[in-house]
Amino acid sequence: MQMKIRLLHRSLLCALFFLAVACSRNDRETDSEIDSGQPVVTFGGKPTNGDALSLPSGQPIDGIGFDLSLDTDLEAREFSELSPEAKAELQKLIADFHQYPNRRSEILEQIESDYYGKEILPLIREILGMGDESLSLQAVEALAGNTSPDVIPVLDSALKNSSEEVRLSAILAASQVRDEAFVGFIGKAFNDTAESVRLTSLDVLENQTRNNRLKIYDVAMDSAYSDVNMAAIVALEMEASPDSIEILIKGLDSPNADVRAEAQVSLEFQLDQTFDTAAQAREWWTKNRNRYDQELFLKETGS
């Protein structure tokens, strides 16, 4: 019976997840088209007047849902291999960029359109240090969807920008990078002062490998912000496996009482065991992990 309940619980969580994502991709509406009487749920953004996703205990998670206006489905893009002639033309455009400040946006647009090689990265980094929010946003968006880990150090500098919008755009821009460097990058965003940046960082993991996602959830459980910890608990419920349990146990060490309580509820639901401390849970899990399969169900034992 417990197995059937747990399967149903996971199915409902996953259904909510993918239904909300599908809605965000296929049914985006402008503010004027949204009926104010209809609930709107956000995830990776600020809370709205809708119903939030619930934690394992059934408690709603304030500010954690799915943002219908957030486009995380960026098309993957790679750098082009520029010919010697194209490189020379690019350098001429970069010189023009410095010489004609009133044409900078136009020149950057031409560079992105016609000379999209890794050679543009020094210019993007330079722009991010100029203090021009509009131009910085354009520069970050020029890297949006890029699959190369070479963009991570540049986008990392964007995470230090004073503009919340620039930092948020940097998170979205990096979403197609499937590399170990992405883990460290996104981990820094989990301690951003802006809630939208912190939670969006958990909303762009669709393109990551499962191994990377687990590493990211592990880092999320270390965040100083309880909203990130709570969101990670929900994510770990959907990624249920022996590896996810080890990450979830970290929640029992949290200085936040609500996070500790939710981690305790989740562990009890998945393992049918109650733990008061992380040390107790780790000791029990070390002795009993081999009794569970990869879906966290007890293995059948011979008679």
Contact criterion met (CB below 8 Å) for 221 and 250? yes
Residue among 31, 61, 58, 57 nearest 45 (CA): 61
pLDDT (0 to 100) of residue 30: 35
The burial class, CB within 10 Å (0-12 / 13-18 / 19+), for 219 is buried
Task: Provide the 3-class DSSP secondary structure of residue 265.
Answer: helix
How far is the C-alpha of 63 from the C-alpha of 43, rounded, in Å?
7
Cα 90 to the center of its chain, rounded Å? 33
Q: Where are the alpha helices (DSSP H) in the chain?
A: 2-26, 84-99, 104-114, 121-128, 133-142, 151-158, 164-173, 180-189, 195-200, 210-220, 226-238, 242-249, 257-271, 278-288
190 vs 15: CA distance, rounded Å? 25
Domains defined for the chain, CATH in brackets = 72-208 (1.25.10.10)
- Record the pTM: 0.77
Residue written as token pair 């790679």: 78
Q: What is residue 35's predicted lDDT score, i.e. its pLDDT? A: 37
* One-character DSSP codes across 162-199: S-HHHHHHHHHHGGG--SHHHHHHHHHHTT-SSHHHHH
In this structure, what DSSP letter does residue 153 have?
H
- Beta-carbon contacts of residue 261 (< 8 Å; ≥ 6 apart): 57
- What does pLDDT average to in each consecutive run of 10 residues of the chain (303 residues)? 45 45 36 34 32 53 43 82 98 98 98 97 97 97 97 97 97 96 97 96 93 96 97 93 96 96 96 95 97 91 55
* 266 Cβ contact partners less than 8 Å away, ≥ 6 residues apart: 55, 56, 233, 236, 237, 248, 251
In which residue are the tokens 């709107």 written? Answer: 40
pLDDT for the residue 74: 80
Q: How far apart are CA 57 and CA 2, in angstroms?
A: 16
Residue 9 to residue 237: CA distance in whole angstroms? 9
Lookup result for tokens 């948020």: 168
- pLDDT on residue 73: 65
